[in-house]
Amino acid sequence: MAYVISSDCISCGACEPDCPVNAISQGDDQYVIDASLCIDCGACEATCPVGAPKPE
């Protein structure tokens, strides 16, 4: 299990520093989560202004 950032992402960058395992990075079109690092804490979902990160 891991969180996934949907295409609703507006690349604001707010979630990146909130991830305790540094799983979030800026991709080509939007921010992305490395599924191999994500521990499903939900911090990114709580921070995101548009609700883009969701548990897969």
Binding site for ligand SF4 (CB under 6 A): 3, 5, 9-15, 18-19, 21, 23-24, 31, 33, 38-44, 47-48, 50, 52-53
Please give the sequence-ordered ranges of beta strands (E in DSSP) within 1-56, or none if there are none: 3-5, 24-26, 31-33, 53-55
Q: Phi, psi at residue 54, to the nearest 5°?
A: -135, 150
Shortest distance, position 16 Cβ to ligand SF4, whole Å: 7
Stated as kind and residue range, the H or E segment containing 43 is: helix 43-47
User: Which residue's CB is nearer to ligand SF4, number 24 or number 28?
Assistant: 24
Shortest distance, position 10 Cβ to ligand SF4, whole Å: 4
